[in-house]
Structure 1
Amino acid sequence: MQSVFPYPRGSPLTDDVAARLLGLDRLGVGRHGGDDPHTEFWVQSVWRARVVPAFDADAYLVGVTAAEPWQPTAHPRPGVLRRVGRLLRGRAGPRPPVVGWRRALVSLQGASVVAELAADPVPAALRGFDLFEPFEFACLDGVGYAVEFETWSARGRVEFGNPEAPSHRRLEAALLAVARSVAAAPGGTGVADYLRVWSRYAAR
Structure 2
Amino acid sequence: MFFPIPEPVRRQAKTPHELTMVNLLIFNLLTLIALLGGSFVEPDSSLAPYRVPGVMVPLGLSLAIVAYSFLRARRATRAGPWFPAAHWRLASGRYRILLAVYLGGAGLIGLGWLLAHTQKLPGMQAMMFIALQRVAIAPMLIALMVLVMLASGAIYQAQRGEVPDRLIQRFPPPPDLTGADTEFASGAAAA
Fold match by TM threshold 0.5: no
The higher-RCO structure (CA 8 Å, 6+ apart) is 2
What TM-score does the superposition give when structure 1 sets the normalisation length?
0.29
What TM-score does the superposition give when structure 2 sets the normalisation length?
0.31
> Which structure shows the higher strand fraction?
1
Whose radius of gyration is greater, 1 or 2? 2
> Which structure shows the higher helix fraction?
2
